[in-house]
Amino acid sequence: MTSTATQKLPAFRPRAAAALQRLTASPQPSQVLEVMGEIVSQLIGCEEYVLLALNPGTMAFSHVVSMGLTREHVQGLLRLQGILGQVARGGVPHFSGRTSAAGASVHEAGLTACIPIRQGERIYGVLALFRLLPQKWGLEAEDLELLTLFAENGVRAFAGEPAALPPERAPVPAPALAPAGLRSLYLHPGEIFASNTPSEVTTVLGSCVAVSLWDSHLRRGGLSHFLLPRAPPLQAPSIRYGDLAIPTLVNQLSRLGSKRQHLQAGLFGGAVLAGAAPETGASLGQRNAQLARVLLKELNIPLVAEDVGGAFGRKLRFRSDDGTVLLKTLRGG
């Protein structure tokens, strides 16, 4: 029998490999929850999800963490029934359009995927994904890799104290659709957008930070989405880190003809997500935001809009033709 030490690790695509590294490097349950939440919302592009723990010896789940779902919706999922119950009992993942939806409960309308979180043969709970971002037409091959990582490495998320159910709240109206003729695209973490083409760029932020730049003279702009302030020692520079992402965005706009004195900036994100350890999440979000403020000041670019911190993620839409930023809070429990 092959020992664990000599087993060959599966080869993942770059985003999945980076996610696995973050997941396995997180020692505390609260940190695992934070990483899982950011991967689901930012890498997979899911606006609504819930992580449920399976209570041994009962016919019910308990709520661990969720985002974007109402209190009533989550409560309706706590009984061990429907597709979520099938996944918890049988250990077979469900993917909309790929596996049967027979037996789905009324509360599972819009379910995109449900995976078991397991260790060996024991199933500890399920992760259920509902609504995806408008730019997502469905789960892609790399999304399935990320969900496989959760199924096999997410069990430590159940070691902490369960979170309270989401608070009752009035429905939040969806932001208006992009005007006709305006290009629409999604910006992943660690990416930069800059273009002469009028565009509406959407991204989802947790403890990550987005910096928008807009040229009021040429009426064009760009957006960066970075994960950490600076690259760790001995690691190659990357636009995943703010110290390179912000200057790179400025340079890209300069190559398009913008002058630095005509640029104005916005700063968004840096939240402490539900389930995160306050001192860890707050420190990361604050460090990201502070790095952005320092660099913008050094570059003499005025910061004219800011929405950072708080306990919830944000969905951001940036229009490059007029510099407008629309924000939607992604509340959860």
Q: Are residues 154 and 273 in the same domain?
A: no
* Whether 208 contacts 269, CB under 8 Å: yes
Mean pLDDT on 191-205? 92
Positive or negative, the Cα torsion across 290, 291, 296, 298?
positive
Whether the predicted model's global pTM rises above the 0.85 cut = no
172 pLDDT more than 80 = no
pLDDT at position 149 is: 84
Among 7-16, 57-66, 98-107, 243-252, the range with the most confident prediction by mean pLDDT is 243-252
What does the CA dihedral 64, 66, 70, 74 come to, rounded to 10 degrees?
-40
Q: Are residues 188 and 150 in the same domain?
A: no
pLDDT at position 278 is: 47
166 pLDDT more than 80 = no
pLDDT at position 282 is: 46
Q: Are residues 155 and 187 in the same domain?
A: no
Mean pLDDT on 74-91? 92
List the Cα angle 220/223/229 in 5-degree steps: 145
Q: Are residues 189 and 248 in the same domain?
A: yes
Tally the domains of the chain. Answer: 2
Residue 144 belongs to what domain range?
Answer: 13-159
- Determine the Cα–Cα distance for residues 129 and 171; give it in Å rounded to an integer: 19
Q: Are residues 55 and 93 in the same domain?
A: yes
pLDDT at position 26 is: 66
> What CATH number is associated with residue 299?
3.30.1330.200
Q: Are residues 212 and 100 in the same domain?
A: no
Q: In a 3-state reduction of DSSP, which class is residue 57?
A: coil
Mean pLDDT on 81-93? 93
Average confidence score pLDDT of the chain: 82
pLDDT at position 233 is: 74
318 pLDDT more than 90 = yes
Cα distances from 285 to residues 76, 108, 304, 325, in angstroms, run 33, 33, 19, 20
Q: Are residues 17 and 136 in the same domain?
A: yes
> What CATH number is associated with residue 80?
3.30.450.40
Lowest-pLDDT range of 113-117, 125-129, 285-289, 318-322: 285-289
β-bridge pairing 199-205 and 313-319: antiparallel
Residue 233's CB is within 10 A of a number of other CB atoms, namely 5
254-279 burial: b if 16+ Cβ within 10 Å, else e = eeeebeeeebbbbbbbbbbbbbbbee
